[in-house]
Structure 1
Amino acid sequence: MTKKLKVVVIGTGNVAAIAIRCIQGREDMELVGVWAHRETAGHLVGTDAGLLDADQPCGVTITDNEEEIFELKPDCAICVINIRNPVVCDQVNGEWYKKFLKRGINVVSPSVANLIYPPACPDQEYIADISQTAHYGNASIYVNGQEPGFAEHLAMLAATCSNTIKTITTSEMFNYSTTQEREELTYAYGFDEPAEYVAALEPPEFQIACWGVPIRNVADKLGYKLEKITASFEKRVTEKDIEVGYGIIQAGKVAAVRLRTCGIVNGREAIVVEHINRMSQDIAPDWPMTDRVGQIRVVIEGDPNLQLDFNVGLKENPEELSYDGYVMTAMRIVNAIPYVCEAAAGIVTIHDLPLTTPSTAFRSDAVFVPHKVCKPKK
């Protein structure tokens, strides 16, 4: 049997915890170490990593010692440190990327959108720094996730059925009412705040910094140069109190948002990324709707007209939406590990790798029962 790849996980949040669970039982890799951020998860140090998202230990003890992680000489590191401030989060993950890459250790991560498609990053000095470090260590780094990441990959797949395209729109339509942590929603989107509250993603430059990446990715794949990228942010308040996963959203507070980022080609909107997120299905009925609590929808207006609805979670179990979304994100990078370890040194993207299908996918995971609830890891 081929030798298993040794994997470490940097972080202990929801995505990290799920990645730890999903590595168990695989024939191509094994978990050998987990690192916890001392300031945000120091209480987890010394505990078994398997208990973060499953019902039994996995035999790996969580540490906050960086050198212990490096001494394990892993083949790949999963870097998923989650810090609410996106700028600080990018910086912390970026520091870890370089620590591993210069030691010849491959890296996968869902955390820094600019590395999903480096040509779209406005800071090319940062891209050059990461790339040079990877080449120095003869290692590879792959960043991808649910959205950005999988969603534009899905859009490109749909476009293979097109003759001509007027507009290609990718929409994330999620109902976040089962989310357990209020701050997770208020900071980014402004949910449960007055209408005048300015959310982190509300300024156009922040939207463009995030979703300009997948828009540019699609445009380049189709062979077009964007003239500009525009952004808009709409919000709606609820007229009644709403019971949600963490408590009550009172009447008059924001309970639905619509973010729309558009790539302009030939003077018109050609590539659009939307986020239409609600805390209750009866809010903003004039916006695009789905009867599912979680869906990624790709609509292509053109020849032919196409619509692809990708549902997340079971319709009859809406409380699993958040969890299943995190599993999607985790598996975009966990499944890529064998391919990344075989890739040429440097920054690799979906354009460099084959389909990152899972190994031993039909194995039984019954012994590792997931918690199925995503709560803040305190």
Structure 2
Amino acid sequence: MALRVIQWATGGVGQAAIEGILRHPELELVGCWVHSAAKDGRDVGELIGRAPLGVRATTDTAAVLAMDADAVIYAPIVPNADDVAAILRSGKNVVTPVGWFYPGATEAEPLEAACRAGGVTLHGTGINPGGIAELHPLMFSAWSSAVTYVRGEEFSDIRTYNSPDVVRWIMCFGATADEAMHSPMLKVLSGGFVQSVRMCLDVLGFSTDAEIRTVQEVAVATAAIDSPIGPIEPGRVAAQRFQWDAVIGDRVVVRVAVNWLMGEEQLDPPWTFGPEGERFEIEVKGDPDCFVTIRGWQPQTVKAGVARNPGIVATAMHCVNSVPYVCAAEPGITTYVDLPLIAGRAHPDLGR
């Protein structure tokens, strides 16, 4: 019997997740929650540019909670813990790319209670955070001993992220430097990335005295920069860097960072991706050291990224492929440390 899955929200990640569910031999799409009244009642196939699937989207949360399903892939732009708790209490496992990767006790307590009430599991996953920031540094540390430092870092052209409202109004690209530096963006990002840092600290066994420090930097346009969110005017934010360091004494032992640029031209300071270009980097200092560069999760061109960003697709697939493992797990909040190896599945034309 296939596991019955509901998709919650149909933005970029949600649409890609639906495609992944349809291709996964162990999953069946049975429901879809949408935020927009314009999508309410429409066939989900129509929403993703396919033939009708016989599953209709709905804005009715109560109807979704009442559905017979094994799991929900929860992928709104802004998470709501009350919604997640309600889904869990309704007896549905939750896999999500928007939080709860490694929550602290206060944040976890009500959701743990909801998991116990529903007899189900909550798992936070994704790409960054949810992979690059914690899973990959921990995974590659297995080839070293006496680890002194791990790092997960992203270098991406933000013009390829097809979510204009998020990029301009939440991430503050196109704002003044002062507006960006005083926006809630660092706090919002820290909600996930600090969990990633703490997971690395705890699993690797670093001192509990480690202090987590944050850094935010911006670069502004020196001339108008054309972008999918409209022109970035001179003097307005066109690149941002966020960094989270865990420090013991005067030594950085864990570093997670993101570098998001509106291209590499006309920036002050004159930031670039360097000769390596867009990428994700994983680094482990120990005996021996390890350095890994990951490519393929960034598109070749801005136009290609706006049409279908592989990083968005990878985020969705990490959620989709986690569903069978999460459904088989013990009730409660489950992290990468608790689950077995998560793997994808063969193309339908090549599978059993």
Instruction: Report how far residue 46 of structure 1 moved.
Output: 1.4
* TM superposition score normalised by structure 1: 0.83
5+ long unaligned stretches in structure 2:
none
Distance 1:165 1:44 in 2: 50
Contact 1:186–1:199 under 8 Å retained in 2 = no
Partner deviation per Cα, 1:167-191 (whole Å, 9 max, x = no partner):
3221111101234444322334332
TM-superposed CA distance for 1:6, in Å, is: 0.9
Question: What is the aligned counterpart of 1:343 among 319, 329, 349?
Answer: 329
| 2:75 paired residue number | 80
How far has the Cα of 1:313 moved from its partner?
A: 3.9
Residues 201 and 271 of structure 1, relative CA distance in 2, 3 Å threshold: farther
Match of 2:12 among 11, 14, 25: 14
Alignment match of 1:197 (pick from 179, 184, 198): 179
User: Percent identity over the alignment?
Assistant: 24
3-state SS in 2 of match to 1:218: helix
Moved more, 149-158 or 45-54: 45-54
2:294 matched to 1:310?
yes
Equivalent residue number for residue 69 of structure 1: 64
In the alignment, the residues of structure 1 paired with residue 127 and residue 137 of structure 2 have an alpha-carbon distance, to the nearest angstrom, of: 13
Q: Map 1:250-329; keep pairs closer than 5 Å.
A: 250-282=233-265, 283=267, 284-285=269-270, 289=274, 291-293=276-278, 295-313=279-297, 316-321=300-305, 323-329=309-315
After superposition, the Cα gap between the structure-2 partners of 1:190 and 1:66, relative to the gap in structure 1 and judged at 3 Å, is: closer
**Is residue 107 of structure 2 the alignment partner of residue 126 of structure 1?**
yes
Check whether the contact 1:8–1:32 (CA below 8 A) recurs between aligned residues. Answer: yes
Q: Is the 8 A contact 2:101 2:192 kept in 1?
A: no
Cα distance 1:31–1:209, how it changes in 2: closer, same or farther (>3 A)?
Answer: closer
Q: Which moved more, 1:200-209 or 1:129-138?
A: 200-209
Matches within 5 A, 1:219-258: 219-224=201-206, 225-258=208-241
Q: Secondary structure of 2:91's partner?
A: coil
The reply to whether residue 97 of structure 1 matches residue 84 of structure 2 is yes
* Equivalent-residue separation in structure 2 for 1:9 and 1:208 (angstroms): 26
Matched AA of 1:270 = V
| Deviation of the 1:116 alpha carbon | 0.7
Aligned to 2:130: 149
In 2, the alpha carbon distance for the partners of 1:47 and 1:20 equals 15
Residues 194 and 135 of structure 1: CA distance in aligned 2, closer, same or farther (over 3 Å): same
Q: Hey, what does 1:135 align to over in structure 2? A: 116
- For residue 363 of structure 1, what is the aligned residue in structure 2? 348
User: Contact 2:88 / 2:118 at 8 angstroms: preserved in 1?
Assistant: yes
Other structure's SS at 1:150 match: coil
Displacement after TM superposition at 1:262 (Å): 0.5
Q: Is 2:61 aligned against 1:47?
A: no
The whole-number CA distance in structure 2 between the counterparts of 1:46 and 1:315 is 33
Q: Is the 2:210–2:247 Cα contact (8 Å) retained in structure 1?
A: yes
Q: CA deviation at 1:240?
A: 1.9
What is the Cα deviation at residue 290 of structure 1? 5.3
Alpha-carbon displacement from aligned partner over 1:16-47 (angstroms, at most 9, x marks no partner): 1111122113321110111122xxx1110111
Shift of 1:287: 6.2
Contact 2:168 2:229 in 1 (8 A): no
Per-residue deviation, 1:276: 1.0
Determine the structure 2 residue equivalent to 1:36.
34
Relative distance call for 1:290 and 1:110 in structure 2 (3 A) is: farther
Q: Which amino acid aligns with 1:73?
A: D
2:96 — aligned with what?
A: 109
User: What is the Cα-based RMSD across aligned positions, in Å?
Assistant: 2.4
